[in-house]
Structure 1
Amino acid sequence: MTIDTSTDRAPDLSGEEPTLSEIPPQADNLDALESEAIHIFREVAGEFDRPVILFSGGKDSTVLVHLALKAFRPAPVPFPLLHVDTGHNFSEVLEFRDELVSRHDLRLVVAKVQDWIDDGRLSERPDGTRNPLQTQPLLGAIEDNRFDAVFGGGRRDEERARAKERIFSLRNAFGQWDPRRQRPELWNLYNGKHRAGEHMRVFPLSNWTELDVWRYIQREKIELSHLYYAHRREVYARDGMWLTSGPWGGPSEDEPVEEKVVRYRTIGDGSCTGAVESEAYTVDDVIAEVAASRLTERGATRADDRMSEAAMEDRKREGYF
């Protein structure tokens, strides 16, 4: 005899085994990851005064917004989005950002690298990339708006420095990260205590993989910028990547332009974010492609992470994402 011990229905005393359709489905991996992320959002909302979501227009930050909407529905998301605009963003990403903000009636704060260059606080780099220049405008926006918790879409599978970081990552009064000040996180208990001037970076997607993110996008039918899917684009080869021309400059005379079918695995500053040749036109296609890949999206397509073996960790110590 089989006795059903669930609280939703009376025990089955008929002596018959339950059919597959009668067995309550168990929470799968995506359910567990979603539940953890929503718990983190609610924990921060209850523990901090002025949280903000870093939003780049990429897939991870778009998933963060989706999770925040779920965490507080039917109430509005109780904190704004913060976008650090390098001035070298893809126009399609800016259009997607503005449409998403309008659709969900969200608040948006924009910190512009160009403003810091114009008034002399920053100088253009010789290589033309502005990704490393985002740190100071980011820290300035955090200080000016008195944000005490900053959500980011970083995941541990992306890069070695991010693999070291806790879900609640303390930054000092200068916005800097010190790996030696990492706090233990046992049993999903998070320590948000911080001194005046300090703030916490919070990473609800820490335990997700790129494949988890795409499977969640598929399940939740999350709309992304079309750059993530295969499309025709004029590109040129540099450092093993396909780059596209834009206000950031390029190509040089010895870099011929070709038309390729490509997509972007990650979206950042156009001067250092490469595309990959791909026939992945749909979410299902992307999932199959990512499942077969042996390189993370940053390792495959971000030139700024190739500057040195410790490029990301060095920038995180300075206050980078």
Structure 2
Amino acid sequence: MRVARMNAPVIAPSRLDTLDLLEAEAIHIIREVVAEFERPVLLFSGGKDSVVVLHLAAKAFYPGKVPFPVLHVDTGHNFPEVIAFRDQTVERLGIRLEVASVQDYIDDGRLHERADGTRNPLQTLPLLDAIAAGKHDAVFGGARRDEDKARAKERIISLRDEFGQWDPRNQRPELWSLYNGRHTPGQHVRAFPISNWTELDVWRYIEREGILLPPLYFAHEREVYSRDGMWRAVGEVSPPLPHETVERRVVRYRTVGDMSCTGAVESPAATLTDIVAEIAVSTLTERGATRADDRISEAAMEDRKKDGYF
């Protein structure tokens, strides 16, 4: 008896690209934290990294809502466009927004304005007070290891002591994607789901997912002046000095911190595709290129993190 022979179809193994793997890791981290901790919260400034983490959280629990609130430490020096975007986002997703105001602390004397005018280093006390008031035992952040040397030392689940402080010598091993969230009363952890992402990964993911962002990230014309090798926006909290010349230039922002310490870069990149192409050839991180507060000292970021900063 003759047996008919058939050519079986060749089935290629399914393959996940880099973004798929990074997304899966981040969603795993978010779900693990929510499963292990009682009162997590997400630091949300309206900047691209926190927007991506919020998007990942929405995917992690879809079709349900994100099961934790978001917290913004508002310095009072934010770009108005970013605050508007923040409010629109939480309303669209139906998420509770908690706000810790640096201005309130200045008004009642708990904090004082710095001589250099920047308020980013003043965020630590309001942040720690908000964590304590909300009894938050896990705080999601959008920090990435490629941003700064201090952030490169972070674990994905990073323990903070009873004073909210970080000890880089007291970091736990994270082998085989196992995360140790053990902590005592009064301590909490910071969780960084996109720790292993690069700036380019973030932008490629934003492009793939069609994630909405504040318009500041895209090329636009505005009044700026040059200071410390950066283009600063003209505004009430960031006025030019008498010797600084105001110009109109086409710029965009790679990061959207305070107006008083965040610089723009000259760029024609007006679409996500343009931005991805621009970042692919950049040799500077976004913080190194545009954040004056990180230039206070070589260890500026690490010093603030040890005190309880993001």
Tell me what 1:6 maps to.
none
Q: Partners in 1 of 2:185 and 2:91 — Cα distance?
A: 34
Which residue is 1:301 aligned to?
Answer: 290
User: How far apart are 1:65 and its partner, in Å?
Assistant: 0.6
For structure 1, the residue ranges without an aligned partner over 5 or more in a row are 1-12
In structure 1, the residue matched to 2:121 is 132
Counterpart of 1:82 in structure 2 is: 71
Partner Cα separation in structure 1 for residue 170 and residue 185 of structure 2: 16
**Contact 1:54–1:83 (CA under 8 A) maintained in structure 2:** yes
Q: TM-score, normalised by structure 2?
A: 0.97
Identity within the alignment, %: 68
Matching of residues 87-126 of structure 1 within 5 Å = 87-126=76-115
The TM-score with structure 1 as length reference comes to 0.94
Task: Give the Cα–Cα distance (whole angstroms) in 1 for the partners of residues 34 and 153 of structure 2.
Answer: 25
Structure 1 counterpart of 2:132: 143
Give me the whole-angstrom Cα distance separating, in 1, the residues matched to 2:32 and 2:231. Answer: 41
From 184, 200, 206, the counterpart of 2:195: 206
Question: C-alpha separation between the residues in 1 aligned to 2:116 and 2:6?
Answer: 75
Cα deviations across residues 217-246 of structure 1 (Å, max 9, x unaligned)?
Answer: 011000100100000010000000000122
CA displacement 1:255-276 (0-9 Å, x = unmatched)? 1100000000001111000000
Tell me the secondary structure at the aligned position of residue 53 of structure 1.
strand
Match of 1:181 in 2: 170
**CA deviations over 1:78-117 (Å, ceiling 9, x no partner):** 1000000000000000000000011111110000000000
User: 1:24, CA displacement in angstroms?
Assistant: 4.4
Structure 2: segments with no counterpart, 5+ residues = none
Q: Deviations over 1:135-162 (max 9, x none)?
A: 1110110011111000000000000000
Q: Per-residue CA shift, 1:50-82, capped at 9, x if unaligned?
A: 000000100000001100000011111110000
Contact 1:155-1:163 at 8 Å conserved across structures: yes
Equivalent residue for 1:10? Answer: none
What does 1:13-28 correspond to in 2, within 5 Å? Answer: 14-15=6-7, 18=10, 23-28=12-17
CA distance in 1, matches of 2:65, 2:233: 38
User: Are 2:232 and 2:238, in contact at CA under 8 Å, matched by a contact in 1?
Assistant: no
Q: Which amino acid aligns with 1:143?
A: A
**Whole-Å separation in 1 of the counterparts to 2:28 and 2:17:** 17
Which of 188, 194, 210 lines up with 1:221 in the alignment?
Answer: 210
Q: Of residues 250, 254, 260 in structure 1, which corresponds to 2:243?
A: 254
SS, match of residue 270 in structure 2: coil
